Chains A and B, each alone.
Chain A
Amino acid sequence: MRAIFLREFFGYFRTPVAWVFLSVFLIASVGVPWFLGNFFESNDASLRIFFRFIPWIYLFLIPAVGMRLWSEEKKSGTLELLLTYPVSLGQAVLAKFLAGWLFIGLALLLTAGMPLTVAYLGDPDWGTVASGYLGAFLVAGAFLGICSACSSLTANSVISFVLGLMCCLLLVLLGWNVFGDLLLSLNFPVPLVDFLASFGVLPRFNPMVDGIVAFADLVYFVSISIFALCFNRVVLHR
């Protein structure tokens, strides 16, 4: 399992994927709050604005990390090698997922310039910053699990990317108040809209950005990852 994890993790750096991903992620995660979110003008010594955009940036970047996890193996036939080595399918799924997750974690770590800037200019609440990062990491795990499962469904990385993006988009939209308002204006009953919203990512993530770490929210993110990985395993089990 360790071998697969290491191969996968360093595999990102063997191809341009890692460098493209890291640079685009950093430019987007810093640039978007700066220019679209008026990060500077908000006069707030916190990373709220930075974190608010994270799930939206993830939408495009996490499918890019996850799309090749299994579809590439299927396409090149290396799946047949991997699954005839003495590694259980569950271990293989987990090892690949962890490698991708750690890679995204590394990308998050590289945004440390943001909190440092805020700390230089003001006096941020470090607990809130930490809970925001924890939330961002957990959202990444949930999205990556979904994208990993999507990638096991097809040998085509483009399909895998689009499928992953759609599934993650659905999770984001469900909890987005603009989407909820749209449903209400279409005469959907309020309890139904609330029910759907409880599946959304944003209502779970936003409190963490504000420094509130609820056990239920942690369970929500972890269970999405676990469910997706189990599904992933079932798909590959033949």
Chain B
Amino acid sequence: MSAPHSTARIEANGLSKSFGEIQAVRNVSFSVNPGEVVGFIGPNGAGKSTTLRMLTGFLRPSEGSASIAGIDVLKHPIQARLRFGYLPETGPLYGEMTVVEFLRFVAGARRIRSVELDGDLIRVRKVCHLEKVWHQTIETLSKGYRQRVGLAQAIIHDPDCLILDEPTDGLDPNQKQEVRDLVNEMAAEKAILLSTHILEELEAVCSRVILLHQGEILLDESLEAMRKRHPLFGSVKIRVAPADADRSLSVFGKLEPFVERIDRQGDHFLLRSRDKRNVSDAVLAVSKDAGLALLEVAPVIPRLEEVFQELTRPQSKFIEEQG
């Protein structure tokens, strides 16, 4: 029996975990709603995997609780585990089994009824493109195929919630794209939480991002909001005709209400937006009025990597700016 989708959410309430003296995760709370793909990012050792392990009930939190589809993972572990699929980091599998033997085992452990078994096997074989290796021993498979088998075991019971720990780790660009497409296909009705340290992945599949740093949530917001933290968000790069270069500075000076700083290098200009609104329209307007010949106008594309690096550096200045 699958409950209405509205209950299919992944929730962390004040999760903390310490290993001896080391506090790996500190008071982490968030929720992932159905139809949402949330990217869980952070530097290595930030506590991502520890948090995911607590969400699945594999690790017992020192404090706080986790629930899947409204079911507490520690109080009702069996019911909760029926509702999610989990791909652990590094995708551990029983290497001595063949793909089909392994998936049959998972189906058994997941209590899939034998009437439904064949249908489910056919579905994951197709979705994860496992036809070629179906009867091959897992330990002889390439990393890409192993990861797909890992995904297959996570979705064989068609769960409401998916927790994927670095699902594209070690895959080549084509395989990464396949996994992302797969996640996108499933995104509509499931709550999906995936950890990654590849930021392009966020842009490809995620609608929201949670950044964990030193065991604490640094930000939990939409991708757009994260991009906005970039100091150059909304800024514009302009190249003017060499003859107009000197005149341009005074023309762009009129944009003072929108532009906080103008950097010039020869006939290249960088106009930094004051309130993170895109200034290109304003630039085009004043240039037209003044009859400036613009050779190039390009909004600066804020790279998430740079925001990430800035945020997770000791003494981040991006945070101060925001705050």
Interface residues of A (CB under 8 A from B): 2-4, 6-7, 11, 14-15, 76-78, 80-88, 238
Contacts A/B (CB < 8 Å), 16 sampled: A3-B108, A6-B105, A6-B108, A11-B94, A14-B96, A14-B97, A76-B92, A76-B95, A78-B93, A80-B53, A81-B86, A81-B88, A84-B81, A85-B110, A87-B109, A238-B60
A3 to B117, CA, bound (A): 13
Structural contact, A11 and B96, CB atoms closer than 8 A: yes
Q: Which residues of A contact B95 (CB under 8 A)?
A: 76
- Are A80 and B88 also in contact (CB < 8 A) when A85-B81, A86-B82, A238-B59 are? yes
Q: Does B57 contact A (CB under 8 A)?
A: yes
Q: Which residues of A contact B60 (CB under 8 A)?
A: 238
- The digit string for B232-274, where 1 denotes a CB below 8 A from any CB of A, is 0000000000000000000000000000000000000000000
Structural contact, A88 and B77, CB atoms closer than 8 A: yes
A11 to B102, CA, bound (A): 11
A84 to B109, CA, bound (A): 10
Q: Which residues of B contact A78 (CB under 8 A)?
A: 92-94
Interface residues of B (CB under 8 A from A): 53, 56-60, 77-79, 81-82, 86, 88-90, 92-97, 105-111, 153
Nearest B residue (CB) for A88 = B78
Nearest B residue (CB) for A1 = B109
Nearest B residue (CB) for A13 = B96
- Are A84 and B96 also in contact (CB < 8 A) when A3-B105, A4-B109, A7-B105 are? no
Structural contact, B78 and A86, CB atoms closer than 8 A: yes
**7 additional contacts, CB 8 Å, given A11-B97, A84-B88?**
A76-B92, A78-B93, A80-B88, A81-B153, A84-B56, A85-B110, A238-B60
Task: Pick the contact of B81: A11, A77, A86 (CB < 8 A).
Answer: A86
Q: Which residues of B contact A81 (CB under 8 A)?
A: 86, 88, 92-93, 153
Task: Pick the contact of B108: A2, A14, A82, A88 (CB < 8 A).
Answer: A2
- Are A7 and B94 also in contact (CB < 8 A) when A81-B88, A86-B110 are? yes
A87 to B97, CA, bound (A): 20
- Are A3 and B96 also in contact (CB < 8 A) when A81-B88, A85-B81, A238-B59 are? no
A84 to B89, CA, bound (A): 13
Could you tell me the distance in whole angstroms from the C-beta of B211 to the nearest C-beta in chain A?
A: 24
Q: Which residues of B contact A87 (CB under 8 A)?
A: 78, 109
Structural contact, A77 and B110, CB atoms closer than 8 A: no
Could you tell me the distance in whole angstroms from the C-beta of A180 to the nearest C-beta in chain B?
A: 43
A84 to B92, CA, bound (A): 13
Nearest A residue (CB) for B150 = A81
A138 to B107, CA, bound (A): 33
A6 to B106, CA, bound (A): 12
A3 to B60, CA, bound (A): 25
Could you tell me the distance in whole angstroms from the C-beta of B155 to the nearest C-beta in chain A?
A: 14
A3 to B97, CA, bound (A): 13
A11 to B53, CA, bound (A): 27
Q: Which residues of A contact B59 (CB under 8 A)?
A: 238
Could you tell me the distance in whole angstroms from the C-beta of B12 to the nearest C-beta in chain A?
A: 16
Q: Which residues of B contact A238 (CB under 8 A)?
A: 58-60
Q: Which residues of A contact B78 (CB under 8 A)?
A: 86-88
Could you tell me the distance in whole angstroms from the C-beta of B23 to the nearest C-beta in chain A?
A: 17
Nearest B residue (CB) for A92 = B109
Q: Which residues of A contact B86 (CB under 8 A)?
A: 81, 84
Could you tell me the distance in whole angstroms from the C-beta of A40 to the nearest C-beta in chain B?
A: 41
Q: Which residues of B contact A3 (CB under 8 A)?
A: 105, 107-109
9 nearest interchain CB pairs?
A3-B108, A77-B92, A86-B81, A85-B109, A80-B88, A3-B109, A14-B96, A84-B56, A78-B92
Structural contact, A15 and B90, CB atoms closer than 8 A: no
Q: Which residues of B contact A85 (CB under 8 A)?
A: 81, 106, 109-110
